[in-house]
A and B are shown apart, each in its own frame.
Chain A
Amino acid sequence: MERRTFIQGLAALGVIGSLPLPLSQAFANTVTKPVSVDDLPKLKGDLTLYLGRGEGGLYENVLQAIQKNNPDFNLAIRRGPTAALANTIVAEAKAGVKRADLFWAVDSGAIGLVTDAGLAKPLPDDLSAQLQKQFKYKDWAPVTGRIRTLPFNTSRLTKDQIPTSIMEIADSDLSIGWAPAYASFQSFVTAMRILQGDDKTAKWLKKVKKRAKTYAGELGVVMGVERGEVDIGFANHYYTLRLKSGKPDANLDLAFTQNDAGCLVNASGILTLNNDPLATNFMRYLLSKEVQGYLAREAYEIPLVNGIAQPDGLPSLSSVSPPKIDLTQLADLRPTIDLMRSNGVL
């Protein structure tokens, strides 16, 4: 029997998503390639999603497409800053109220806040099976990733002049652009704290601060690098790809550090707050090859499901070496902010 026929048969019986565990596990073993929405069960019923804002509308397009494709599905959405929604979920749980069925966050640190509170439900094995090996978590599903990069000005530097260690950059003579107030930068510093310890991170911050020019956001950093205001910057990968898309002759390229916080892959992610099979099936849509491909193509985000092409202009994830780190640990932001403040960075 063709896999597609098999799944559609299950969907017709209304059993997919509520499979008994052994069968679900057996089924999971077959789902190692990206799944098409055509193979997924239709969504029927009501769900409430708390949606952390991101990519200014592309996530909305995904949600609209899912609803359009499922006329019997009604999705109520509460939107807001990711961290605020994570705090709301935890506060609502403490108050004995459960309003959200799902939480889609643009930042895995916010996911960590909710999972640490024990509110997220475990993922079924077939969902985990679709994700790349290093992005499998027990109770949440990374949806797409973004990698920390070193955008550099190509008229001033060649790639081999850039250190491949984030710690060595602090000792180089390169001028640097950074956006310390930016959430992704703070997640990166949190990763550095976890990997290198607070003392080394503090010394790194102090050294870089001496030669860094501060920008409000990371697109500003990348634009500053392109204009030649600084040699290199610290920024998520998609800013460079998008600037180059709008300005193909930009004096800009990407460099990567190796196996340290400088090439951290952070992720947006989704979790369910109840055991409703409908919520789990909704998550399957976000991991479908169509949604993953759309976010890679339109938002330059990194698909984390097996077998989906990377955005144009980005090397394959297997050719870069992000550090091994539990992304939910990035929720430990307070000590990072304190460290940045005590060293005069914020």
Chain B
Amino acid sequence: MNLFFKPAKTLGASLLIASAFIAQPVFANGPIGEHVNHLQANLKSYNEEVEWMVGKVDTLVSTYENKGAKAVNTDDLIEYWESVKFHSAIETNLVPVYASIWQGLYGVKMAIDGGKSAAEVRVQQTAMNNALWQGLGAVKLAAKFQQKGLLESVTATASKEMTQSATIDEIKHKLDRVIAKLAERLKDEATEIVHDTYLHLFEGVEGTLIEQDANLVEALEKNFNVTLPKAIADNKSVDEVRDVVTSMQTKLDRAKRLIEKAEKNRKDVF
């Protein structure tokens, strides 16, 4: 037997809660540090990084407020965020908040670059701060699950079981990543994720789904192939694209219920 496979763990009911935090080995921003497999040991430094980040952005916004746009370089905002370890801790544990942090950063950046009032910049800054603190909370919770052995290690090996209902969860997660990539201003990557998710994941479950609800499949087909790619191509805002994704995720929840029912009714193999 090959030693790089770990035996499956029985997670029990807690998995339902933990599943929101299960790490996914799909990243686009370079290597993820090993620290994400030791969250508890790094909580103090994550906390310090969030405080540092909040302070740096506040200093930049104050400078803009007092001295104007020429006194600041808004690209520094991205540098700050990409320099902290907390970046990958939240990316591996709660993608929706990860997306919100990027959205907040670009909100501040674009408001300054667009010459908006300091008050308007502060609104974006508050949204970003809220997302950062929310993210820290999520990482703390994930650390607890990790301590109990309920969180998978981040590895490059795809060994996760993909039942049809698990596939739906994976699709929902991929759609969150679409928003994250869009919030990072990586439009092509976002579109590629939509395309790959359709071909490699949704395509594998829609056969079963169409036997349960042909109209639902039709609606999701349209969302994957027209509505969502078009919203991205038309440069809709992150919030507008998130609305499309949220609507798809609601449909996917129904799809999951139908698939679970079908799986329950399916006869045993032998």
Chain A interfacial positions (CB closer than 8 Å to B): 37, 46-48, 53-58, 60-62, 64-66, 69, 74, 76-81, 99, 181-182, 215-217, 219-220, 223, 238-239, 242-243, 245-247, 288, 290-291, 294, 297-300
A48: which B residues are within 8 A, CB to CB? 1-2, 5
Q: Are B203 and A245 in contact (CB under 8 A)?
A: no
A245: which B residues are within 8 A, CB to CB? 210-211
A61 to B159: give the CA distance in the assembly, Å.
15
Q: Are A294 and B2 in contact (CB under 8 A)?
A: no
Closest to B206 in A: A219
B157: which A residues are within 8 A, CB to CB? 78
A239 to B208: give the CA distance in the assembly, Å.
10
Q: Are A182 and B199 in contact (CB under 8 A)?
A: yes
A211 to B199: give the CA distance in the assembly, Å.
24
Beyond A246-B214, A288-B270, whether A60 also contacts B4 by CB under 8 A is no
Instruction: Please report the number of residue pairs spanning A and B whose Cβ atoms sit closer than 8 angstroms.
Output: 122
Q: Does chain A have a CB within 8 A of B13? A: no
Q: Does chain A have a CB within 8 A of B158? A: yes
A243 to B159: give the CA distance in the assembly, Å.
31
A54 to B162: give the CA distance in the assembly, Å.
10
Beyond A54-B204, A216-B198, A294-B269, whether A78 also contacts B211 by CB under 8 A is no
B263: which A residues are within 8 A, CB to CB? 57
For residue A261, give the distance in angstroms from its CB to the closest CB of chain B: 22
For residue A278, give the distance in angstroms from its CB to the closest CB of chain B: 11
For residue A114, give the distance in angstroms from its CB to the closest CB of chain B: 17
A96 to B198: give the CA distance in the assembly, Å.
35
For residue A292, give the distance in angstroms from its CB to the closest CB of chain B: 10
Q: Are B204 and A56 in contact (CB under 8 A)?
A: yes
Q: Are B203 and A217 in contact (CB under 8 A)?
A: yes
B208: which A residues are within 8 A, CB to CB? 56, 242
Partner of A55, one of B200, B201, B207, B218: B207
Q: Are B158 and A79 in contact (CB under 8 A)?
A: yes
Q: Does chain A have a CB within 8 A of B213? A: yes
A53: which B residues are within 8 A, CB to CB? 162, 200, 204
Closest to A238 in B: B207
Q: Does chain A have a CB within 8 A of B164? A: yes
For residue A14, give the distance in angstroms from its CB to the closest CB of chain B: 19
A69: which B residues are within 8 A, CB to CB? 270
Range of interface residues on B (Cβ < 8 Å): 35 or more
A320 to B244: give the CA distance in the assembly, Å.
44
B206: which A residues are within 8 A, CB to CB? 217, 219
For residue A228, give the distance in angstroms from its CB to the closest CB of chain B: 14
Give a binary string over B233-257; 1 marks a CB under 8 Å from any A CB, 0 the rest.
Answer: 0000000000000000000000000
B224: which A residues are within 8 A, CB to CB? 216
For residue A222, give the distance in angstroms from its CB to the closest CB of chain B: 9
Q: Does chain A have a CB within 8 A of B75? A: no
Q: Are B162 and A290 in contact (CB under 8 A)?
A: no
Q: Are B162 and A61 in contact (CB under 8 A)?
A: no
Q: List residues of B (162-176) whose CB comes within 8 Å of A's CBs.
A: 162-167
For residue A30, give the distance in angstroms from its CB to the closest CB of chain B: 22
Q: 7 nearest interchain CB pairs?
A: A56-B204, A46-B1, A65-B269, A57-B164, A290-B270, A76-B5, A56-B205
Q: Does chain A have a CB within 8 A of B160? A: yes
Partner of A220, one of B4, B221, B266: B221
Beyond A48-B5, A76-B1, whether A219 also contacts B269 by CB under 8 A is no
Q: Are A242 and B269 in contact (CB under 8 A)?
A: no
Beyond A37-B270, A56-B205, A245-B211, whether A77 also contacts B159 by CB under 8 A is yes
Partner of B211, one of A46, A220, A242, A288: A242
For residue B260, give the distance in angstroms from its CB to the closest CB of chain A: 11
Q: Does chain A have a CB within 8 A of B161? A: yes
Q: Are A243 and B210 in contact (CB under 8 A)?
A: yes
Q: Are B270 and A294 in contact (CB under 8 A)?
A: yes
Q: Are A99 and B158 in contact (CB under 8 A)?
A: no
A245 to B207: give the CA distance in the assembly, Å.
10
A76 to B4: give the CA distance in the assembly, Å.
9
Contacts A/B (CB < 8 Å), 21 sampled: A55-B207, A56-B164, A56-B167, A56-B201, A57-B163, A57-B164, A57-B165, A78-B5, A79-B159, A80-B158, A99-B2, A215-B225, A217-B199, A219-B206, A219-B217, A223-B218, A242-B210, A243-B210, A245-B210, A245-B211, A290-B269
Q: Does chain A have a CB within 8 A of B62? A: no
Q: Are B269 and A62 in contact (CB under 8 A)?
A: yes
B162: which A residues are within 8 A, CB to CB? 53, 56-57, 60, 79
For residue B62, give the distance in angstroms from its CB to the closest CB of chain A: 49
Q: Does chain A have a CB within 8 A of B212? A: yes
Closest to A295 in B: B269
Give a binary string over B66-102; 1 marks a CB under 8 Å from any A CB, 0 the rest.
Answer: 0000000000000000000000000000000000000
A243 to B218: give the CA distance in the assembly, Å.
11
Q: Are A181 and B214 in contact (CB under 8 A)?
A: no
Q: Are A216 and B199 in contact (CB under 8 A)?
A: yes
Give a binary string over B1-30; 1 marks a CB under 8 Å from any A CB, 0 the rest.
Answer: 110110100000000000000000000000
For residue A339, give the distance in angstroms from its CB to the closest CB of chain B: 21
Closest to A247 in B: B214
